[in-house]
A and B are shown apart, each in its own frame.
Chain A
Amino acid sequence: MRKKLLLSFVILASLVLGASFANAKDLTIGLKGEPTSLDPHFHNVTQNNQMALYIFDKLILQDSKQKMYPGLAESWKPINDTTWEFKLRKGVKFHDGSDFTAEDVKFTIERIPNVPNSPSSMAGAVGAVKEVEIVDDYTIRIHTEKPAPLTPRNFASFVIVSKKAAEGKATEDFNSGVAAIGTGPYKLVEWARGDKIVYERNEDYWGEKPEWTRIVVRPISNDGTRVAALKSGDVDLINFVPPADVKHMGEDKKLALHKSSSTRLIYLHIDTDREFTPMVTGNNGEQIKNPYLDLRVRKAISKAINRPAIAARIMEGLAIPASQMLPDGYEGTSKNLKPEAYDPKGAKALLKEAGYPDGFKITIHGPNDRYVNDADIAQAIAQMLTKVGIKTEVNTMPKAVYFGKASALEFSLMLVGWATDTGEHSNCVGSLLHTFDKEGGFGKSNRGRYSNPKVDSLLEEALVTVDPAKHNELLVESVEIGMNDLGIIPIHFQVSVWGTKKGLTYNGRTDGYTLPHEIKSK
């Protein structure tokens, strides 16, 4: 009898325990960065845009490879060259129980350019919009001045806020939670700045219900601490696993690593504009004409760079050699471009042909706290260039100093990165390859001042071509010309790594976001 009692007690206890394990669906995430604000339209940076997706939805969502799929809009199509129609999802509720309607979309689009004191607004995403017409509660038409084929892409970059909750509210009200009312998978519970952000599951979510009932996000900027937090079990998942730790974490049986390629391109920008460029001299320090103007010299530099070696040794395998500005499979990506093969002999021959048999002296500039192993990559490239006869010095500096100088054109050859969050090529062609044009808003980050009228006209035509096939064709052509011309010299795409405790899976995302609703337990 006593034995039976004991047995049933044990069974009961294990049932209770098992049940409580099944219910304990808390997830603690350690992220490298913290959002500067929970106002999703205040500051257009990755940490903020990623956090916004916990609470809010977009009209059009992006999957882990940044392909678009229906979010709050069930469908969208151009009705004519300057009008796009969006059919909205019915029966979606905000966290406060109010209905999501076309009014909220209109309110959001009108709010975006008018967020006070925004250090980097999202106005560009709605810049083409002339008028927002509400057809009925669940149909909305966007009228644009010119044909705007990128409208869906742009509309996949901002989240929809509630008119009822956000009207007349300031950024502080989002931070305190009063206005942070979305339709997203999680509700905001608390933000203790610098320490943690707490979310709980939105039980009325319209989409697939996420597995975790409670999410705690902790900002841990120090790489070593973030890894230690995972190893000690304080957090269940971390992002930005540092390359140096990948090997030993992979050997740890209690942990799992999840890798995904990213759209973060690391490339060299090169002065192809000025007759005399500041950071280049002849071998005896005398001034010489800018050698970068010669395509053969640019080609030689590209051939001198051993991309697979950088990927394998400096990036510990966490990089994919690049041939263009987005990885294969993205809109506007050319199938004809392949990463330049390492060819020091060919590089030397090209330099000789260009009239520099003994090379010249240059300085390569780079940041040392912006991209993964940025200073080391600059060092490696300098050695590779020196090997083919271009005597290269390295000068790296903190990003706070670097980018101002780079934009002021103080450098001639510089290491930079670019992440195309929109997931298509017109964004990077327009910013990096198009002729610098202040008024037109082109070539904003074209720090080498590359200029080719053919690239410009192809891009400009693509930007007003609504037909998707034609649009893509024009983009591909502009990319091919710009890359064959080495307007920039692509090096590699970073690979992002997430670390979790054993038993969790995360497929990773090319935009680098860490989204809890895509984290699953096995």
Chain B
Amino acid sequence: MLAFLIRRVSQSAVVLLVMSVLVFVGVFYIGNPIDILIAPDASEAEYLAAIKRLGLDKPLWEQYFIFLKGALQGNFGNSFVYNEPALKIILDRLPATLELAFTAMFMAVFLGIPLGMVAGIQHDNLIGRNIMRFSILGFSLPTFWVGLMLIIIFSVYLDWLPSGGRGPTTEFLGMQVSFLSWEGISYLILPATNLALFKTSLAIRLSRAGVQENLQMDYVKFARAKGLSNTRIIGLHVMKNIMIPVITVLGMELGNLIAFAVVTETIFAWPGMGKLVIDSIGVLDRPIIVAYLLITVTMFIFINLLVDLMYSVLDPRVRLGDER
């Protein structure tokens, strides 16, 4: 277990290093931020002064090493447009994104898995088929379109829910969150639903397939023969077995939710990281873009690790230390 962890951490460090080089070089070649940041009628002296202030006068490799040195000490440099540490600005936005992503994931798990199991058990009747139809819609409709439809239906026509923004927040564990007040929740419902749609469909499909496969298995027949109740067979034994693929996929998808909630955040003017990074790309705010991507990679690495650890809990046959 310990050897496994050490190996994973050192591999991760290499991945991060390679990523940082790629991202840095990539962002460098997109364009020169000064052309976008500076007022077009600025004088040459101001132009040069701004380049120097932002450290853009140095060659690429030197900029990279300054960045790397800072990054190893936890400092990703100051944002060009906000003049505050990039890391701080991203972490300020993190709670909003996490809240949105976890709410969406919560919806996907607690709606998707039960629905998928129902669809798996009752695969040949109307309920099962309708659940599957819903999941096809959830898969195929583009997120931005669904988002706009949700706004048009629930905000503009029915006037039930606000069209965007985050609304009032309450402090919880040192973070500002929406889900502790009714008004806050009303702001959360539409974007979370929008974000959850695809994941819910995914959970439905995975658990349906899992249930159908497991119901054919000998252990189920054996359990039935032994006289176990249907609820117990499905709720405990089958459930446990279908959870492995579901957890793997949803675990990966959680990373996606956090990292790529961009579309939903933009449509619902949700003040999260995704919106921040889109704005930052627009003005080539390099420190934010680089820091954001590195944080995202770190998060994926961490989630993967967590998924692997959960495997071993769910299925004792999986041994973490094994070299293949």
Contact = CB atoms under 8 A, between A and B. Distances in A.
Contact of B164 (A229, A399, A405): A229
A196 B165 CA distance: 8
B31 A220 contact: no
Interface in A150-172: 171-172
B35 A404 contact: yes
B43 to A, nearest CB: 4
Interface stretch (A75-83, A89-97, A132-140, A231-239): A231-239
B166 interface: yes
B163 A172 contact: no
B37 interface: yes
Nearest to A117: B83
Contact of B54 (A117, A127, A194, A430): A117
Contacts of A127: 43
Interface stretch (B125-133, B149-157, B211-219): B149-157
B53 interface: yes
A43 B81 contact: yes
B44 A441 contact: yes
B123 interface: no
Given A403-B36, A431-B41, A444-B42, A234 B162 contact: yes
A234 to B, nearest CB: 5
A114 to B, nearest CB: 11
B271 A192 contact: yes
Contacts of A43: 37, 81
B159 A225 contact: no
A403 B31 contact: yes
Nearest to B37: A119
A19 interface: no
B155 to A, nearest CB: 4
A228 B152 contact: yes
A121 interface: yes
A98 interface: no
A221 B266 contact: yes
Given A225-B164, A399-B282, A404 B32 contact: yes
A218 B35 contact: no
A438 B44 contact: yes
A400 B156 contact: no
Interface string A98-132: 00000000000000000011111101100100000
A42 B267 contact: no
A45 B80 CA distance: 13
A427 B84 CA distance: 32
Nearest to A430: B41
B83 A195 contact: no
B275 interface: yes
Contact of A124 (B41, B159, B272, B282): B41
B53 A231 contact: no
A271 B45 CA distance: 25
A43 B53 CA distance: 13
A6 interface: no
A465 B39 CA distance: 25
Interface in A214-257: 218-222, 224-225, 228-229, 231-234
Contacts of B35: 403-404, 407
A36 interface: yes
B31 A400 contact: yes
B304 interface: no
Nearest to A221: B266
A117 B42 contact: no
A5 interface: no
Residue of B32, B42, B155 with most chain A CB atoms under a 10 A cut-off? B42
Given A119-B50, A403-B31, A407-B35, A225 B163 contact: yes
B120 to A, nearest CB: 38
B83 A219 contact: no
Nearest to B93: A194
Interface string A388-403: 0000000000111111
Interface in B39-65: 39-47, 49-50, 53-54
Contacts of B275: 194, 221
Contact of B165 (A34, A234, A405, A439): A234
Contact of A118 (B43, B53, B151, B272): B53
20 contacts: A37-B83, A116-B53, A117-B78, A119-B38, A127-B43, A171-B83, A175-B84, A194-B93, A222-B267, A228-B148, A228-B164, A229-B155, A231-B155, A232-B156, A232-B163, A233-B159, A234-B155, A234-B162, A399-B282, A402-B31
Given A121-B46, A220-B164, A225-B148, 5 more contacts: A228-B152, A233-B159, A405-B31, A407-B35, A444-B42
